[in-house]
Structure 1
Amino acid sequence: MTELAKQRPEYRNIHAFRDLPSYRWPLAALVSGMHRISGMIMFLLLPLVIWMFDTSVSSEISFGKFTSAFSSGLGFAPGWLIKLLTLGLIWGYLHHFIAGLRHLLMDMNHAAVTKEFGKSSAAVTLVASFGLTAILGAKLFGLY
């Protein structure tokens, strides 16, 4: 064993509340974790997606109900909550799609699996997903 390996701390059992807050995630690991979280968000909001699709294409009356849900709300949920859930869905889809393309690129081109490419492609993924989410979110909330 080398001297460097002896100096490193060895974690066998990671305590979630004690060890994880002090762990520094590299940007590539953060994007990979967010890829999993965005997939979970899309899965959990699938009933909302099905409802949105069904009410938007069924008839003119149901489309009016669909559009009014974003302004006046739906049942117990106010309109801003519907918009916020939709914004979360937009981010989840965009991030999952862009990060998925990043993972596919790294799977197809093994020369791209380097620390430098991982860091730069993770930064591009974050900027693209949050930038597109901001643009579509501004449209969703009626800023343009």
Structure 2
Amino acid sequence: MKRKIVRKERPKNLDLSTVQFPITATASILHRISGIIVFIALAIFLTLLNCSLTSAEDFQRVQGYFDLFIVEFVFWGSLTGLAYHAVFGIRHMIQDLGHWEELESASLSAKVGFAITAVLSILAGILVW
């Protein structure tokens, strides 16, 4: 007995640049990315702290690093990542308590979270520069 092979029409090449994620999905993905940024930044800054505590000369050398634009930019990016992770971590905890679970309220809370993070990022920029 011959079996019929049924082929389902599936997309062969899904172009992710054409997929429009909802704001809640974008917020969730960025929350994970900000966690990775904070983890890496913690390792970098703990290494600098360790180096700065070894001697007065090393402290002066590490202090001089913070006059470089790239180090200031990394510091600002780390503070922004930490702010984002904290704001959206609080948002996720509130959702775990049963609030903001509907699409409308979740979208609004994500937009508010982005606005709060933008303000904190600007404040971090003022602090760094």
Query: TM-score band (shorter)?
Result: 0.7 to 0.9
Residue-by-residue CA offset, 1:33-74 (whole Å, 9 max, x unaligned): 100110111222232121243345x27824433322111xxx
Structure 2 distance, partners of 1:90, 1:25, is: 26
Number of the residue aligned with 1:140: 128
Structure 1 distance, partners of 2:126, 2:112, is: 21
Residue 98 of structure 1 contacts residue 129 of structure 1 at CA under 8 Å; is this kept in 2? yes
Residue 100 of structure 2 contacts residue 109 of structure 2 at CA under 8 Å; is this kept in 1? no
Number of the residue aligned with 2:21: 25
- Write out aligned runs for 1:24-63 (5 A): 24-55=20-51, 58=53, 61=56, 62-63=58-59
DSSP 3-state at the match of 1:45: helix
Structure 1, unmatched stretches of 5+, are: 1-10, 72-78
Structure 2 distance, partners of 1:27, 1:105, is: 17
How high is the TM-score relative to the length of structure 2?
Answer: 0.79
How high is the TM-score relative to the length of structure 1?
Answer: 0.72
Structure 2, unmatched stretches of 5+, are: 1-8
Structure 2 distance, partners of 1:105, 1:12, is: 38
Q: 1:94 and 1:23, CA in 2 relative to 1: closer, same or farther beyond 3 A?
A: same
Q: 1:125 and 1:53, CA in 2 relative to 1: closer, same or farther beyond 3 A?
A: farther
Q: 1:42 and 1:12, CA in 2 relative to 1: closer, same or farther beyond 3 A?
A: farther
